[in-house]
């Protein structure tokens, strides 16, 4: 049991750091220069804005769930609480399901983000071409200063590759956390039962 507790404490620290990494990546995805310029130029009804906002909120949710799971598992290890251990297991499982969905979406819709960004660029370009005095001219200039069409593909490939790697590592640690929390729960449960069996009460006649 001591070995399990030590492993769970180390796993909790790693999961907390991964949760912070996902929160940082979500912030970069939302407020990073490349993404924010395209988002500001996009129409409210564009698919890019929907993807952009969904990615940010999903990342925040996953990071908070991972950090909560790490804190609960650490507290459960110190206090040897079955309730805290079960709650930590649930948070690990919830984060695992969310990351599996995110990873599946990443591979099923591998080109959707790039296509939606290029659609925004095409709309802005056409607006400026039709109307030279359009307010979109400034947005088109900003896009050209930060990106060109060739750079969008390369930047997104690197960014999405980093996202996939981070999700893969985090999935591994969440599975490890689920295994350790379930083992700790059973260890605490059977330990308590053995302690009860060793207690006897003498009653007078």
Whole-angstrom Cα distance, residue 205 to residue 200? 16
Q: How far is CA 116 from CA 78, 108, 127, 135, 140, in A?
A: 48, 15, 17, 21, 16
- pLDDT at residue 203, as a whole number: 54
- What's the pLDDT band for 200 if we cut at 50, 70, 90? very low
Sign of the torsion formed by the C-alpha atoms of 188, 189, 193 and 194: negative
**Region 104-114 average pLDDT:** 83
Q: Is residue 194 very low, low, confident or very high in pLDDT (cuts 50, 70, 90)?
A: very low
Nearby residues of 34 by Cβ (< 8 Å), 6 or more positions away? 146, 147, 152, 155
> What pLDDT does 202 receive?
45
Which of 31-45, 151-165, 174-188 has the highest average model confidence (pLDDT)?
A: 174-188
Q: Does pLDDT of 22 surpass 50?
A: yes
Range with the poorest average pLDDT among 76-80, 108-112, 184-188: 108-112
The band of 23, judged by pLDDT with boundaries at 50, 70 and 90, is very high
Flag the least confident range among 55-59, 68-72, 152-156: 152-156
pLDDT score, position 122: 84
* Per-residue pLDDT at 166: 93
Q: What is the mean pLDDT of the chain?
A: 84
161, pLDDT greater than 70: yes
20 pLDDT above the threshold of 90: yes
> What single string gives the DSSP state of each residue in 85-103?
HHHHHHHHHHHHHHHHHHH
């Amino acid at each position: 049991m001591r070995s399990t507790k030590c492993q769970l404490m180390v796993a909790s620290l790693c999961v907390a750091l991964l949760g912070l990494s996902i929160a940082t990546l979500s912030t970069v995805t939302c407020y990073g220069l490349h993404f924010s310029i395209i988002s500001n130029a996009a129409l409210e009804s564009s698919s890019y804005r929907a993807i952009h906002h969904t990615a940010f909120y999903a990342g925040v949710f996953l990071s908070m769930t991972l950090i909560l799971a790490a804190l609960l598992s650490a507290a459960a290890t110190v206090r040897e609480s079955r309730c805290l251990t079960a709650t930590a297991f649930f948070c690990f499982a919830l984060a695992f399901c969310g990351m599996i969905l995110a990873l599946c979406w990443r591979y099923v819709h591998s080109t959707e983000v790039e296509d939606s960004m290029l659609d925004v660029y095409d709309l802005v370009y056409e607006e400026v071409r039709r109307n030279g005095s359009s307010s979109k001219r400034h947005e088109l200039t900003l896009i050209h200063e930060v990106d060109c069409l060739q750079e969008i593909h390369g930047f997104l490939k690197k960014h999405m590759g980093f996202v996939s790697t981070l999700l893969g590592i985090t999935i591994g640690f969440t599975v490890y956390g689920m295994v350790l929390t379930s083992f700790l729960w059973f260890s605490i449960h059977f330990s308590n039962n053995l302690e009860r069996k060793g207690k006897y009460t003498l009653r007078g006649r």
